[in-house]
Amino acid sequence: MLGNLGKNLTNTMKKLAGMAIIDEEVVKEVIKDIQRALIQADVNIKLVLNLSKTIEKRSLSEEPPKGVTPKEHVIKIVYEELVHLLGEKAPEIEVETKPFKILFMGLQGSGKTTTIGKLARYLQRKGFNPAIICTDTWRPAAYEQLRQLTESLNVPLYGDPDNEDALDLAKKGIKKFKKQDIIIVDTAGRHKEEKDLLDEMKQISVVVDPDEVMLVIDGTIGQQAREQALAFSQTTDIGSIVITKLDGSAKGGGALSAVAEIGAPIKFIGTGERIEDLEAFDPDRFISRLLGMGDIKTLIERAEEIAEGDEVDMESMDAMLSGKFTLKDMYAQFEVMNKMGPMQQVLNMMPGMGNKLPKNASQVTEERLNKYRILMDSMTEHELTHPEVIKQSRVKRIAKGAGMRNEDVKELLKYYQVTKKAIKGFGKRKMGGPLGQMMRQMMR
């Protein structure tokens, strides 16, 4: 994803990790590498310069917290500032009123219709019943494209290829679907003149009265995304943004960072043409992955807490290790461990850990990670952070959403339970040492 940006930044971080000492010269060199990588990805030069200044200033002036080496501290600063570049994490879709209406906007070809199909699937997996309205009267094939998409998903669709009045279509569709819990409205992205398009969007948003307007922007246009987003935001309140085509787009970094400034968060990213190629966007996780470092933020935070282990009493340590360990944490750890090499090897480094995990833990393969990812994608945020609420009916829904068996969900939950227990026990056994070591190891 994102062309060479990930590779270049990862190399920079590796180089930084390999440095014997951290001084002004090293910091400047690292910043130069980062600048080169970001500019290549079409990140706006002003943003790059601001970021460089902040990294330099923080790296040279901030005192690393106790137990964190200067090198780890600079890594953390670079990471935090890159995350900052991408803006805030968008809140999840909350269906407070029914039907919850989502209006899609964006230029023709940006990926609206494709994204709507992906989103419908995504929402279905979370247990919702979305319906779709087609108001694109410009492309003759628009209705047909949606008809095929929705048929395979079993999602109700309203549209009429013979009706050329987009507003009328929107009105009728909303009336028809008033019992549905979510309505997604697809629009045309094209007019003879840009002004006409924006006018129509304004009128449609009056008719639809959306709970959320989602703007779709093609990630391959790079930093021009900002201007486009601003033009649309003149017509109506943009609630969230989807950046598409980030698979293989060399300019994706530019698009992502450019819209972070307009005041609407990026909610999803499109990473391919298939129905499952939609990801909820989380700046933290995105940068961690881009840097090839697993869920680095969580790890850094924990390394810090653990570094302070001497001052932490047994009870609060235990609470941290057991209470905070959610399904999400588990997944993040799997990802990191996968990158570190064979799990067994990692476990062997830690006394007492090797035989505490389930027997096949060393085989947390790509394949299994993938399976777990798909299952977790079918869970709500609440289920991920409070797995104890997942009982029979939720198990069924999650399995169905993921296209798997109930047993697969149960396997994942069992695995989670055992891992949580092992980690809890491990925390009791030894406080500061090995776990802290493991965390630090992960960051290298």
Nearer to Mg ion, 41 or 216 (CB): 216
Tally of residues, the chain: 444
Q: Which two tokens stand for residue 10?
A: 């990862």
Written as one letter, the residue type at 314 is M
**247/282 with CB nearer ligand GDP:** 247
Q: Which residue is nearest to Mg ion (CB)?
A: 113
Cα(415)–Cα(270) distance, integer angstroms: 30
Q: Which is nearer to ligand GDP, 169 or 439 (CB)?
A: 169
**H or E stretch at 93:** none
270 binds, among ligand GDP, Mg ion, none (CB under 5 to 8 A by kind): ligand GDP
CB closer to Mg ion, 71 vs 112 = 112
Partner in contact with 265, chosen from ligand GDP, Mg ion, none, beta carbon below 5 to 8 Å by kind: none
The percent helix, strand, coil of the chain (3-state, each to 5) is: 60, 10, 30
CB of 143 to ligand GDP, least distance (A): 12
Question: Least distance (Å) from ligand GDP to the CB of residue 188?
Answer: 8
- Residues that bind Mg ion (rule: CB under 5 A) add up to a total of 2
Q: By C-beta, is 105 or 174 nearer to Mg ion?
A: 105
d(CA 202, CA 385): 39
Buried b (16+ CB within 10 A) or exposed e, 43-58: bbeebbeebbebbbeb
Q: How far is the CB of 272 from ligand GDP (least distance, A)?
A: 5
Which of ligand GDP, Mg ion, none has residue 111 at its interface (CB below 5 to 8 Å by kind)? Answer: ligand GDP
Give the nearest residue (CB) to ligand GDP.
270
Binding partner of residue 124 among Mg ion, ligand GDP, none, CB cut-off 5 to 8 Å per kind: none
Question: How many whole angstroms separate alpha carbon 294 and alpha carbon 290?
Answer: 9
| Partner from Mg ion, ligand GDP, none contacting 273, C-beta within 5 to 8 A by type | ligand GDP
C-beta separation of 292 from 339 below 8 A: yes
In angstroms, give the least distance from the CB of 418 to ligand GDP.
37
Distance of closest approach, residue 198 Cβ to ligand GDP, in angstroms: 15
Angle of CA points 376, 379, 382, to nearest 5°: 120
C-beta of 128 vs 138, nearer to ligand GDP: 138
Residues 6+ positions from 240 with CB-CB distance below 8 Å: 90, 212, 213, 214, 215, 264, 265, 266, 267, 268
Give burial (CB, 10 Å; 0-12/13-18/19+) of 360.
exposed
DSSP 387: G
Site of interaction with ligand GDP (CB under 6 A): 106, 108-114, 189, 244-245, 247, 270-273, 277
Binding mask 87-126 toward Mg ion (x if CB under 5 A, else -) reads -------------------------xx-------------
Least Å from the CB of residue 146 to Mg ion: 8
Name which of 113 and 249 has its Cβ closer to Mg ion: 113
**Which residue lies nearer to Mg ion by CB, 111 or 387?**
111
Classify the C-alpha dihedral 69-73-74-75 as positive or negative: positive
Binding residues for Mg ion, per CB under 5 A?
Answer: 112-113
